[in-house]
Chain A
Amino acid sequence: MEPMVTEPRALPAGDPDDQVENTASAAAPIRTLSKSPTRIALGRLRRDKVAMICAIICAIYVLIAIFAPVLARLEGQNPTDLHQSLIDEFGYPTIGPTGEHWFGVEPRLGRDLFARWVYGARPSLIVAGAVTAITTAVGVVVGLVAGFSGGWVDRVLSWLIDLVLSLPYLLFAIASSAVLVAIFGGAEGAAPEAVARIRFISLICVLAFFGWASLARLVRGQVLSLREREFVSAARVLGIPTRQVLFKELLPNLVAPIVVSVSLALPGYVVAEAGLTVLGAGLIEPTPSWGLTISAATTYYRADPLYLWLPVLGITILVLALSLLGDAVRDAFDPRTRR
Chain B
Amino acid sequence: MLIYLLRRIASAVSVIVVTLVASFGLFFVAPTDPAGVICGQRCTPERYADISASLNLDEPVVQQVGEYLKGLVAGRTYHSGGLTIDCDAPCLGYSYTLGQPVTKLIGQALPVTVSIVLGGAVVYLAVGILAGVVAARRRGTYLDRIMVGTSLGINAVPYFVLALLVALYATFLPHAGYHPLLENPLTWAVGLLAAWLTLGVANAAAYTRYARASMIETLGEDYIRTARAKGISERRVVYRHGLRAAVTPIATIFGLDLAFQLTGAIFTEAMFGLPGLGVLTLRAFNQYDLPVLMAGVLIGSVVLVAMNLLVDILYTILDPRVRLG
Chain A residues with CB under 8 Å of chain B are 159, 162-163, 166-172, 174-179, 182-183, 267, 270-271, 274-275, 278-281, 294, 298, 301, 308, 312, 315-316, 319-320, 323-324, 327, 339
Chain B residues with CB under 8 Å of chain A are 11, 14-15, 18-19, 23, 26-27, 30-33, 148, 152-153, 155-161, 164-165, 168, 260, 263-264, 266-267, 270, 277-278, 281-282, 284-286, 288, 293-294, 296-297, 300-301, 303-305, 308
Chain B residues whose CB sits within 8 angstroms of the CB of A175 once the complex forms = 23, 26-27, 281, 284-285, 293-294, 296-297
B286 to chain A, nearest CB (A): 6
B99 to chain A, nearest CB (A): 20
* A271 touching B159, Cβ below 8 Å: yes
Q: For residue A301, which residue of chain B has the nearest CB?
A: B168
| Bound-complex Cα distance A177 to B281 (A) | 12
Which DSSP category, helix, strand, loop or mixed, fits chain B's interface? helix
Given A179-B32, A298-B164, residue A323 in contact with residue B296 (CB < 8 A): no
| Bound-complex Cα distance A179 to B160 (A) | 24
A189 to chain B, nearest CB (A): 12
* A324 touching B156, Cβ below 8 Å: yes
Chain A residues whose CB sits within 8 angstroms of the CB of B155 once the complex forms = 323
Contacts between the two chains (Cβ within 8 Å), count: 123
| Bound-complex Cα distance A159 to B266 (A) | 28
| Bound-complex Cα distance A294 to B264 (A) | 20
Chain A residues whose CB sits within 8 angstroms of the CB of B31 once the complex forms = 182-183
* B164 touching A294, Cβ below 8 Å: yes
Chain A residues whose CB sits within 8 angstroms of the CB of B266 once the complex forms = 170-171, 174, 279
Given A167-B301, A176-B26, A182-B31, residue A281 in contact with residue B160 (CB < 8 A): no
* B160 touching A275, Cβ below 8 Å: yes
Among A170, A281, A324, contact of B263 (Cβ-Cβ < 8 Å): A170
B281 to chain A, nearest CB (A): 5
* A279 touching B157, Cβ below 8 Å: no
* B304 touching A162, Cβ below 8 Å: no
Q: For residue A302, which residue of chain B has the nearest CB?
A: B168
* B160 touching A170, Cβ below 8 Å: no
A184 to chain B, nearest CB (A): 10
| Bound-complex Cα distance A176 to B65 (A) | 19
| Bound-complex Cα distance A281 to B301 (A) | 20
* B18 touching A168, Cβ below 8 Å: no
| Bound-complex Cα distance A152 to B287 (A) | 43
* 16 A-B residue pairings within 8 Å (CB atoms): A163-B15, A168-B303, A168-B304, A170-B278, A171-B278, A171-B281, A172-B297, A174-B285, A179-B26, A271-B159, A275-B158, A278-B160, A279-B270, A280-B286, A320-B157, A339-B148
* A166 touching B301, Cβ below 8 Å: yes
* A179 touching B27, Cβ below 8 Å: yes
| Bound-complex Cα distance A298 to B148 (A) | 32
| Bound-complex Cα distance A324 to B305 (A) | 32
Q: For residue A170, which residue of chain B has the nearest CB?
A: B264
| Bound-complex Cα distance A274 to B161 (A) | 10
| Bound-complex Cα distance A278 to B19 (A) | 27
For A178, A278, A324, the residue with the greatest tally of chain B CB atoms inside 10 Å of its CB is: A178
Chain A residues whose CB sits within 8 angstroms of the CB of B159 once the complex forms = 271, 275
Q: A167-B297, A175-B293, A301-B168 are in contact. List 18 more A-B contacts (CB 8 A).
A: A159-B11, A162-B15, A166-B308, A168-B297, A168-B301, A169-B263, A170-B266, A171-B300, A175-B23, A175-B27, A179-B32, A182-B288, A183-B30, A271-B159, A279-B282, A319-B156, A320-B153, A320-B156
* B301 touching A174, Cβ below 8 Å: no
Chain A residues whose CB sits within 8 angstroms of the CB of B305 once the complex forms = 166
A56 to chain B, nearest CB (A): 17
Q: For residue A280, which residue of chain B has the nearest CB?
A: B286
* B303 touching A274, Cβ below 8 Å: no
Report the 9 A-B pairs with minimum CB-CB distance, sorted nearest first: A168-B300, A168-B263, A323-B156, A182-B32, A271-B158, A171-B300, A275-B160, A170-B264, A320-B156
* A182 touching B30, Cβ below 8 Å: yes
* A280 touching B282, Cβ below 8 Å: yes
A154 to chain B, nearest CB (A): 15
Among A171, A172, A301, A315, contact of B158 (Cβ-Cβ < 8 Å): A315
| Bound-complex Cα distance A201 to B318 (A) | 45
| Bound-complex Cα distance A331 to B285 (A) | 41
Chain A residues whose CB sits within 8 angstroms of the CB of B297 once the complex forms = 167-168, 171-172, 175
| Bound-complex Cα distance A323 to B156 (A) | 6
* A327 touching B152, Cβ below 8 Å: yes
Chain B residues whose CB sits within 8 angstroms of the CB of A179 once the complex forms = 26-27, 30, 32
| Bound-complex Cα distance A183 to B32 (A) | 6
* B158 touching A163, Cβ below 8 Å: no
Q: For residue A275, which residue of chain B has the nearest CB?
A: B160
Given A167-B19, A167-B304, A171-B278, residue A271 in contact with residue B160 (CB < 8 A): yes
| Bound-complex Cα distance A316 to B285 (A) | 27
Chain B residues whose CB sits within 8 angstroms of the CB of A174 once the complex forms = 266, 281-282, 285, 293
Q: For residue B158, which residue of chain A has the nearest CB?
A: A271
Chain A residues whose CB sits within 8 angstroms of the CB of B158 once the complex forms = 270-271, 274-275, 315-316, 319
A38 to chain B, nearest CB (A): 25
